[in-house]
Amino acid sequence: MNRIILNVLFFLITFFLVFNNIPKQIQISFIGDLLQNKLSFYPFIVGFIYTLYCQYKYKNVLVNLDKFLKFIVLYLVITLISLLVGLYNYPYYDMVINGPVTQIEKLPKVMVFLNSLGIHIDQKILIAFWMIARVVKGLLFDSFYTFGGAYMIYCWYHNDWQKGLNIFIKGILIGLIVVLGYGCIEMLYLAGNDIAKNILITFNPYIHIIKTDHNWWPPLLWVKQTRSVFPEPSHIGNYLAFTLPVLWCLILNIRAYNELKSNKIILLCLTFIFSMIIFLAQARTASAMFFGMCVLYILLLCYLYKKEYWKNFAKIIIVSVLAFVVSLTFINNFINKPVAIQNVNNTIIETIDENADSVNNYISNNLSSLASIDQRSNGARYALIKSNLRIGMDNLFFGAGKGLTGAYVSANFTEKEKQNKEVKMWVTNQKKEGVLRYGLGAMNEYVGRFAETGIIGLIAFLCPFFYILYKLFKALKHSPNAIQIKILLLLTSLIGVMVAGMNGSLNIFYSTWIVLGLCYAAVFNKKLDNE
């Protein structure tokens, strides 16, 4: 395999992570929205084709293929058993048959065609077969993109995982510069700058989709929050899950990354600006991920107990605290301005300062509110999670079936949950579009999989993650300093993206599978023990 081609493709896959929901005008529509809206997919598919070509020509590219196939076949079999059991027990066929025709696509025409040939098949049976084909197609693409992608990256760098890691870091840093640059323009817009506003209005439609969901999401401009190049502020939380470990580990021991030719001052400046964007996003996911990452690093540094690491981590904390203070000042002066109340004679009689005790307000709105059912969008989100948990508990071993939980979710809302405004909207839209087209996911990767595939399917999905986490922890303690910090980067990135899965799909960014592939390349590398 040509290493230059692989390295360029891997760099593009990594750099393009920031463009996770590109406009339909620049998508290549041949697979589906799950993949085609992510810019990383396009160099990925080129890399996949090139890998197959090299395997055909040289026969030595796909390493440990037998082990990978054993896992993927087991994973697919469990998922298919779950689907078949789910279809056998599915109580909502009438809702599919009598619902909107658009949800079953071309199936009615197939039925008419078969009837014209004198072939009469029970509608329920035909729908079941169609649903199997539909799910199998989606499952194959999903497996190819996720575990298949991780395996491909492992094959690329199993003999030189540090090279792969360095390319990953370069791609992340270049992507981060784009995020920070665009975020700075957005801060100027939030401060009231018209030039910055016009720049965002001009370029946002070319960066991500505009108003495709419910005719409002994502809006052209986001009010009072930063989101940078992403469709919404919460995505910054998912993004920092794999980006902060890169920045922080570089700062902890910059000497281990001689190839990168960076310096600590620049990295601390990037950390400051990035931290500001995180805090100005005022997204609970982003805030929780940031402080959770701080706790994780404190625990791991206690485990390692390296004096050098503690000194440099103290610098990270100081810069982060400074960014937090500056962000609060920005919010107080530009976003939540004091409101003057006037009487009929336009005389100011009272000024309401929304920012009194701003630190407590920020923590309350963006951290402690996570535990409150009633604050912000928690009511609807928790309703989804609880409904999916009920589905999983009712179908404990194999779940309700891949792609079949939509109707179950609506049926499992409690009467109190149904009163939530957002839940009402979801139920209405589901009736309008059909239970198969409007699925009502759990907004949590693990709860959603538990509902669809049961405890057996969830364990099968998580096994590769927990196995490599165990191996990384083992390698972390016994590796020399230059390798240790790189293992720490991979370990914290993997933990970060896994935690981010509690805020939606692991496929919001493709980072999960890149990191997983690099982790396997690092651990299952003959050079690791000798480095």
Provide the pLDDT confidence category of residue 372 given band limits of 50, 70 and 90.
Answer: low
Q: CA 365, CA 485: separation in Å to the nearest integer? A: 35
Is the pLDDT at 104 greater than 80? The verdict is no
Q: What is the pLDDT of residue 27?
A: 85
Summarised one tens digit per residue, pLDDT across range 190-246 is: 999 999 999 999 999 999 999 876 677 899 999 999 999 999 999 999 999 999 999
Q: Classify residue 223 by burial, with Cβ atoms within 10 Å: 0-12, 13-18, 19+.
A: exposed
The whole-number average pLDDT for the span 33-58 is: 91
Q: In the prediction, which pLDDT does 458 show?
A: 97
Tally of domains in the chain: 1
In angstroms, the CA 297 to CA 274 distance is 18
Alpha carbon distance 166, 172 (integer Å): 10
Which amino acid is located at 445 in the chain?
Answer: E
Q: Describe the crossing of helices 284-304 and 358-366 by its angle, rounded to 10 degrees.
A: 90
**Using an 8 Å Cβ cutoff, are 256 and 482 in contact?**
yes
Identify the domain containing residue 439 by its residue range. Answer: 1-531
For residue 274, give both structure tokens.
């990035």
In the chain, what is the greatest distance between 2 CA atoms, to the nearest angstrom? 85
> In terms of pLDDT, which residue wins out, 215 or 327?
327
Q: Are 249 and 262 in contact (CB under 8 A)?
A: no
First-last CA distance in the chain: 25
Mean of per-residue pLDDT scores for the chain: 88
Interval 117-148: pLDDT, tens: 888 787 788 888 888 888 888 888 889 999 99
**Residue that wins the pLDDT comparison between 11 and 380:** 11
Quick check: 290 pLDDT over 90?
yes
Q: Which two tokens stand for residue 371?
A: 């535990």
Which has the minimum average pLDDT: 62-66, 186-190, 364-368, 451-455? Answer: 364-368
List pLDDT tens digits, range 173-193: 999 999 999 999 999 999 999
Number of other residues whose CB lies within 10 A of the CB of residue 510: 24
- Give the pLDDT score at 244: 96
What is the mean pLDDT of the segment spanning 68-81? 96
Q: Is 50 exceeded by the pLDDT of residue 351? A: no
Name the more confident of 357 and 13. Answer: 13
Residue 330 pLDDT level (bands cut at 50, 70, 90): very high
| Cβ atoms of residues 245 and 496 within 8 Å | yes
Q: What is the per-residue pLDDT for 43? A: 96
> 69 or 104, which is more confident?
69
Are the beta carbons of 201 and 194 closer than 8 angstroms? no
Instruction: For the chain, give the percent of residues with pLDDT over 70.
Output: 91
Contact 417, 387 (CB under 8 A): yes
* Rg of the chain taking only CA atoms, in angstroms: 25
Residues found in the chain: 531
pLDDT for residue 8 is more than 90: yes
388 pLDDT tier (thresholds 50, 70, 90): very high
Q: Is the pTM of this model over 0.85?
A: yes
**Would you say 35 and 145 are in contact if contact means Cβ atoms under 8 Å apart?**
yes
